[in-house]
Amino acid sequence: MKNLKYLLLFLGLSLLIAAYLFYPKYQRGMEVDALMQPSQYAHTFINMDKYFPSKEVIKSDHPYIFPKSTSIQLPTTFDYKNQTLTTSDYLDSTGTQGLLVLQNDSLVFEQYYNGQTETTRHISWSVAKSFISALFGIAMEEGHIKSIDQNVEEYLPELKGSGYEGVKIKDVLQMSTGVRFNEDYADLNSDINRWFRSFAFGDSQDAFAATLVRSREPGTYNHYVSINTHVLGMILVKATGKSLTEYLQEKIWQKIGMEHNAFWVADNEGMEMALGGLNATLRDYAKMGKLFLHNGNWNGEQIVPQAWVKASITPDAPHLMPDSKNSADPDLGYGFQWWVTDGNEGEFMALGVFHQMIYVNPTTQTIIVKNSANRHYLDVESIYSSGVVTLELFREIAHQ
């Protein structure tokens, strides 16, 4: 009986300790689940710093203000696969919160909806990947990274034994690592949702990356794996000795006249969500479009190496081309963390889930930025889900 009492006491103390340790995580998970319900997207996407740890990116000492030109009217309708869509209905149904158009570097349209304003910082989701690419090009130019033909483990020995061992950095940049990963946001048990739950708990993203395994030969198949971008972020931090926040502020935010502070949400280890956690204003996202439209040059100063910009928006292998049979996303091609369209106008895009977009058309000198809280995004049967439909709207605007 005495031993039983001790056993019960031990079990009771163990339960109390477990509750103390794990209840905050459980509560955190429930809070994040509530925030990520479709009815809450519009609020959540412009208030991420209220719910996640974040690191501030300080605005430029010399902010750049876009000159304004004659305002344009959006097309009343546009066509997609022989179907005519009403622009206003489409913008509303895709949960648009901000829409901005530049023509010849001048602001010709800017409108806000659903809680966003010109000073509101909206989460980029995967648009952040294109910022990571730009930082990578700068780090290469500065000599922090020797070659994109090096293997990942040369910088990240902690990923030996994972699916990233033996993978060239170039294949990581081009979403061709061969790492097995399910990026289906509608599947609660997918890898991307497992990662997000882990991130919501504050767990290490570096540790998550080390759990992934290989399923294909690297460099042979275009398969979008968001954790690839996290690995690029890990390399940047290791190679530069600076956080992503510090490096972004020094090399881009200050250099191209960003008007507002941004922030990067981070895990409990202080590592930024490289794959999609940057939050900025609509106009400041547009400045990244302008930077890449001008081949990395900002008003006479080369910020991102010109050769890197060209490589970033140029598919250089059959599996990276639009319509490739060796691509999980054959509607679009892929460069270094930028999407490349079909057609002959040199268009390219930064894309994030729920319809975050930076569209660049060098032929018409058009940049379009869209922030959204698309409640239809997970419904693959809905015409409001696909970003390719939005591309047709952007093309209509670019050719007005």
In tens, the pLDDT along 162-205 reads 999 999 999 999 999 999 999 999 898 999 999 999 999 889 99
Comparing 12-21, 294-303, 316-325, 374-383, the range with the smallest average pLDDT is: 12-21
Q: Give the separation between CA 228 and CA 299, rounded to whole angstroms.
A: 32
Verify that 15 and 152 share a domain, yes or no. no
Average pLDDT over residues 317-329: 97
Q: What is the C-alpha to C-alpha distance for residues 273 and 35, in angstroms, rounded to an integer?
A: 18
Show the DSSP H helices in the chain as ranges: 2-35, 41-44, 87-93, 128-141, 169-173, 191-200, 205-209, 226-240, 244-248, 282-293, 306-312, 387-398
Say whether both 10 and 86 belong to one domain: no
Residues facing 110 on adjacent strands: 100
Is residue 381's pLDDT more than 60?
A: yes
> Residue 73: is it exposed, middle or buried by C-beta count within 10 angstroms (0-12/13-18/19+)?
exposed
Q: What is the mean pLDDT of residues 263-287?
A: 97
pLDDT recorded at residue 31: 74
| 21 and 123, same domain (yes or no) | no
Mean pLDDT, the chain, rounded, equals 94
User: 179 and 294, same structural domain?
Assistant: yes
Expressed as residue numbers, the domain containing 10 is: 1-35
Whether 20 and 82 map to the same domain: the answer is no
CATH of the domain at 284: 3.40.710.10
DSSP string of 172-216, one letter each residue:
HHTT---B-----TT-TTSHHHHHHHHHHTT--HHHHHTT--B-S
Residue 370, pLDDT > 80, answer yes
pLDDT(8) > 90: no
For the segment 72-81, the average pLDDT, to the nearest whole number, is: 97
Q: pLDDT tens-digit profile of 103-132?
A: 999 999 999 999 999 999 999 999 999 999
| Judgement on whether residues 135 and 224 belong to the same structural domain of the protein | yes
Look at residue 1 in the predicted model and tell me its pLDDT. 55
Question: Are 29 and 84 members of one domain?
Answer: no
- The DSSP string of 116-152 is --TT--EE-GGGHHHHHHHHHHHHHHTTSS--TTSBG
Q: What is the pLDDT of residue 28?
A: 64
Chain segment 21-70, per-residue pLDDT in tens? 444 555 666 677 788 899 999 999 999 999 999 999 999 999 999 999 99
Q: How many domains does the chain have?
A: 2
Q: 241: which DSSP letter?
A: S
Residues 9 and 79 in one domain: no
Domain shared by 30 and 42, yes or no: no
DSSP state of 304: S
- Give yes or no for residue 278 having a pLDDT over 60: yes
Dist CA 27 CA 161 (whole Å) = 34
Structure tokens at 74: 């959006």
At 283 the three-state DSSP class reads helix
Cα–Cα distance measured from residue 335 to residue 316, given in angstroms and rounded to the nearest whole number: 8
Same domain, 81 and 5: no
**pLDDT tens-digit profile of 221-255?**
999 999 999 999 999 999 999 999 999 999 999 99
The answer to whether residues 164 and 261 belong to one domain is: yes
Q: pTM, whole model, 2 decimals? A: 0.93
Residues 25 and 109 grouped into a single domain: no
Find all residues with CB under 8 Å of 224, minimum gap 6, and list them: 175, 183, 328, 329, 334
